[in-house]
Amino acid sequence: MSAAEKSLHWIVDKWLAPTPATPARITRMGRTGSRRGRAVCVETLRPGGLLSIVFFRHDDGSWNVFPPAAERPAMNGYRRAAGTCAFTTCAG
């Protein structure tokens, strides 16, 4: 699903299905975590009471009900051909 299909408007319609009689409204906006990601709390009134959902903005521009994964340290390695050296000061 593309980011355009997961805009904040689209995801609020999907999860809260607001109507003119029961509109949804943004009650809080803020930043989360060390990466300063965005979060928005949206509320609507239901027959059972007030329903609040927090939506999180992801790196691809989409909004979801779960926060983006934290960046973690990573390592990478590769194999060199036999007899080659990775350092410029190698002899041979």
18 within some domain: yes
45 within some domain: yes
- Dihedral sign computed on CA atoms, order 53, 56, 62, 68: negative
92 within some domain: no
> Which domain covers residue 48, as residue numbers?
3-64
User: In the predicted model, what is the mean pLDDT of residues 2-28?
Assistant: 86
Q: For 56-91, what is each residue's pLDDT tens digit?
A: 998 888 899 988 887 777 777 767 766 666 666 655
Selection from 70, 71, 68, 72 nearest residue 3 by Cα? 68
Give how many domains the chain has, as a whole number: 1
How high is the pLDDT of residue 25? 93
42 within some domain: yes
Q: pTM for the complete prediction?
A: 0.67
46 within some domain: yes
